[in-house]
Structure 1
Amino acid sequence: MPRRAADVQWTAALARTVVARIAPEELPAFDVLAAPYLTGADASTDGGRLEFGVLEAVATITPVVTLVSASVTAALLRGAEGELEQLGGRATRGLFGALRRRREPAPPASAPVEFSREQLARVREVAVARAEALGVTFPLAATIADAVVGALLLDREPER
């Protein structure tokens, strides 16, 4: 199933923010490295595989971060299998609604979306599990997951 443009845009922004934190040297090549995974990876149906041999080329972290970000975005949008549904319509619209309605980035919301500790812990679990499914060692998977949670918690506007 093709991903909606707004979801791809949010995933790209989240992934770029995470890459900026853990591998800033990859930012100049981010668009090229992330593009195949933004357009061709469905976070819910790809079975945890990196496409076209990237596993051998994980000298860059951007593909893994992009796929992890896609999984987190998908989990947030569908409520992380019920556990993140407490975000409800208003909060979810605050995070993602503006991206669906506009081509331009939305201005920062008047109040940031509040995540509970449980919600952030679940997001971290999703991110670690996805990274490990992609063949990343636990320490790196945990670093990626921590950066994702940090981006959601601290960054009102992901880096573009």
Structure 2
Amino acid sequence: MVRSPRTQRALLVALAVVLAVSAAAFVATASAQLAWQQRDSIDFRATDYELVDGEDPRLRVTIDVRNPTSVDARVRAGSLVVYDGDPADGEALTVPRSERLTGDREAAVPARGTTTVTLVAEVPADTVERARAAIEADRAVTSGTVAVTIRGRSYEANV
């Protein structure tokens, strides 16, 4: 049994330090795990479609990404296709797997924040008029996946 007050004080300080470090590690791990379990709550909503005519027609899709989790997330293009109507029976207006984010390869979405990203996809020349009509009639629907990374772990989110 330790009888020296100095030794007892040193042991109490060491115990307090160990408890503080353990608590900090637990909080960091728990918040990361909670954010990972809430990853499906990250919301993707297409807000605007713009057809860019020319020799190489493109469709720009503006998507709002809302991240209600407690940690930052990163998104990058996955596999998105724009359809004329319901994806189950509508016609594809863009070339699958041709989309890319404008600017950087990835976009950051802050914790409890919203970021707007723009994806650009190729449009086959024979579907340009159909794409224009679908956009004007508000029938364009985006479907597919986007790659999301939270604290180094990635998954494919449905759009």
The structure with the greater share of residues assigned to strand is 2
Q: TM-score normalised to the size of structure 2?
A: 0.25
Which protein shows a greater Rg?
Answer: 2
Q: Which has the higher contact order (CA 8 A, sep 6+)?
A: 1
